[in-house]
Amino acid sequence: MAVSSPPVDLSAALVLKPVAAVDWLVILPVAWCIGIGAVLMMVRHRTFLHPPIAVAALGILAGLDATLLWHVAQNGPVTMVMGRWLPPFGIAFTVDLTGALFALIAAVVALAGAVAAVTDINDGGRRYGFYPFLMLLMAGVSGAFLTGDIFNLYVWFEVLLISSFGLLVLGAEREQIDGAVKYGFLNLVGTTLFLIATGYLYGIFGTLNMADIAAKAGPLRETAPLTTLIALFVFAFAMKAAAFPVNFWLPASYHTPRIVVSALFAGLLTKVGIYALIRVSVMLFPLERDDLSLVIAAVGALTMITGALGALAQTDTRRLLGYLVISGIGSMLAGIALGGPGGIGGAVFYALHSMVVMTALYLAAGLAARLGGGFSMASLSGLYARHALFSALSLMLFFAVSGLPPFSGFWPKVMLVKAALDGGAGWLAAALLFTGFLTMIATGRLFLLAYWRPAAAAAPSAQDAVPATALLPLIALTAVSVLIGLFPQTLLGLVHEAALTLDEPSAYLHSVFPAGSAP
C-alpha cells in the first residue's frame, strides 16, 4: 500500500475550484424535492403530517426557484456538474432563463395543487401516497427543466412519468384503471422513441451534453442525417406534449383521476414535452428546425383547431378542459415553428400562461362539481346564484384561456400572431385567432349552461360552504393570471431575453465551457 503513484494532473478532468455557494441553487430544487419525498415516505402512516410538510416544502421550492431565476437573470446561465467531472464528461445541470422560468411556474402550480389537495384528497389517498408522489413528480419536472444533458433529460422524464402513474391510479376506480392503461402504454412508447433518438444522437455526436452538441452540430451537418434525427425527436416530444395525430392518450385519461391530479397533470406534464421540444429543436438544431418548420406549423395548426373543436363537442367539463390543454399545445407548436425571438418567446410565454390557467381551470371544474353535484354540463346549473365570487373567478379564467385582454392569455397570443404575420404565415395567424374564437364559444357555452342557467328543481343538494383551502389556490392562480395580463412588462422582458438566449446560445455554451476549455 506504500506505493505512491506519480502525481496526476487532476485539472484536466476535474473542476478543482470550490463551487460558489449560490451555484448550488442549480441542483437544490431537485435534491430538495427528492429529500422531502423521502421524508414523506418515512412518515407515510402519519397522514396528518403530509399536507403541512408538503405545502411548506413546495413553498420553499417556489422560493428556491425564484432565487434561481433572479440569479440567472442577473448573471446569465449557470452550470454545475455532478461529481466535479469537467463537462462534457460529468453530467451537467445548466440553467438558463427558459429553464428557470418554467421551474418557477411549475413550483407555483404544484404549491396551488398541494393546497387544493388538502380537502380534495382524503385520508385514503394520502395513505396511498399522494404527497410523496407529488414531491417526486416535482423532482422529475424540476430536473427536466434544469438539466443540461440529454440522457439526463430522459431520466427525469421517466421519474415524472412513474410518479404520474402513481397519481393517476390513486383510488383505483374502474375508469382510472381504463385511463391508466392507455396513458401508460402510449407514454411508454413516447419516451422509448425519445430514448431511441437519444441513442442515435449519441452514435452521431459521441456526446450527450447539450452545449457540446450545439457546438459540434455545425461541421457534422455535412455528413450526418441530422434532419432525420431531429424529426424523431420532434415526434417523440410531440407525443409527450399531446400534439394532434398522437394525442389520443390525453382525452382518454386526463378526466379519470382526482381533480387535483388532473389539474397538476394539465399544468405540468405536457409542458415538459414542449420545453424539451424547444430546448432540442431551437437551441441544439436550429437549421434542422427551419427545415421542419412547415411540418411543425401544420401540426400546430391542426392541434389547436382539432383541440378547440373537440372541446366544443364535450359534455363532461373535465374532458372539455382536456381538449383545451391540447389546443394550447397547438399554439406553442406554432411559436416553435415560427422561430426567431418573437415566435419562441411567444411559445415560452404561452406555455407559462397555460400552466397557470389550465391548472386553475381544472381546480374550478372541481369546485363546480362540488357546488353543482357533477361534471356533466347537462346537469350542472345555477352556480352563479350559489357562489358569485367563484363564478367571477371562473369567468376570468375562461377569458384568459380564450386569449382575451386583460388576462395572461392575451399577450402570448399577440406575440404569436405578430410573429406569424411578420414571418409571412398569415394562415397560421388566422388559425390562432380562429382557435381563440372557438375556445371562447366552448367556454362561453359552459358558462351559460353551468353558471347562468337557473338551477334545476331536481338539482342535487349543494354544499354551500366552500372550504378556504379549495378556494384559495383558485384565487391565487387567477390573481397570477390577471397580474401577468395587467403588468406584462417584467415577464415580457424575461421571456424575450430567454428567447434570445435560446436563439443564440453562446452564453449557454460559455457557461458550460468557460473560455479556454473548448470541448
Q: Which is nearer to another protein, 373 or 406 (CB)?
A: 373
d(C-alpha 352, C-alpha 83), whole Å: 32
Q: Closest distance between another protein and the C-beta of residue 249, in Å?
A: 11
Half-sphere exposure of 252 (CA within 13 A, CB side): 16
Among 41, 55, 71, 158, binds another protein (CB under 8 A): 158
Enumerate residues 6+ apart whose C-beta is below 8 A from 202. 151, 208
445 binds another protein (CB under 8 A): yes
Among 162, 392, 468, 486, binds another protein (CB under 8 A): 162
Pick the piece of the chain touching another protein (CB under 8 A) from 139-147, 247-255, 429-437, 462-470.
Answer: 247-255
User: For residue 213, which of 125, 296, 152 has the smallest C-alpha distance?
Assistant: 152
313 binds another protein (CB under 8 A): yes
Q: How many CB atoms are closer than 10 A to CB 56? A: 13
Enumerate residues 6+ apart whose C-beta is below 8 A from 440. 398, 402, 404
Q: Which is nearer to another protein, 198 or 306 (CB)?
A: 198
Q: Which is nearer to another protein, 155 or 414 (CB)?
A: 155
203 binds another protein (CB under 8 A): yes
377 binds another protein (CB under 8 A): yes
Q: Which is nearer to another protein, 181 or 388 (CB)?
A: 181
Q: Closest distance between another protein and the C-beta of residue 133, in Å?
A: 13
Among 41, 195, 298, 479, binds another protein (CB under 8 A): 195
174 binds another protein (CB under 8 A): yes
Answer whether 413's CB lies under 8 Å from 403's CB.
yes
Give the x-and-dash track for 93-132 against another protein (CB under 8 A): ----------------------------------------
Torsion of CA 257, 259, 260, 262, to 10 degrees: 60
178 binds another protein (CB under 8 A): yes
What DSSP string describes 398-417? HHHHHT-TTSTTHHHHHHHH
169 binds another protein (CB under 8 A): yes
Tell me the sheet residues that pair with 209: 149
175 binds another protein (CB under 8 A): yes
Answer whether 288's CB lies under 8 Å from 227's CB.
yes
| 3-state secondary structure at position 171 | coil
d(C-alpha 474, C-alpha 363), whole Å: 7
User: For residue 232, which of 287, 192, 290 has the smallest C-alpha distance?
Assistant: 192
Cis peptide before 406 (omega within 30 of 0): yes
Q: Closest distance between another protein and the C-beta of residue 172, in Å?
A: 7
Among 315, 463, 490, 517, binds another protein (CB under 8 A): 315
Half-sphere exposure of 333 (CA within 13 A, CB side): 34
Cα distances (angstroms) measured from residue 54 to each of 32, 38, 50, 200, 268:
11, 11, 6, 40, 17
Phi and psi of 6, rounded to 5°?
Answer: -65, 150
User: For residue 439, which of 267, 299, 310 has the smallest C-alpha distance?
Assistant: 310
Q: Which is nearer to another protein, 265 or 407 (CB)?
A: 265
Among 180, 229, 264, 352, binds another protein (CB under 8 A): 180
Phi and psi of 95, rounded to 5°?
Answer: -115, 125
Q: Closest distance between another protein and the C-beta of residue 374, in Å?
A: 13
Among 76, 184, 405, 406, binds another protein (CB under 8 A): 184
179 binds another protein (CB under 8 A): yes
199 binds another protein (CB under 8 A): yes
Q: Which is nearer to another protein, 176 or 306 (CB)?
A: 176
Q: Closest distance between another protein and the C-beta of residue 186, in Å?
A: 10
Q: Which residues bind another protein (CB under 8 A)?
A: 5-6, 8, 151, 155, 158, 162, 165, 169, 172, 174-182, 184-185, 188-189, 192, 195-196, 198-200, 202-203, 251-253, 255-256, 313-316, 377-378, 381, 445, 449, 453-454
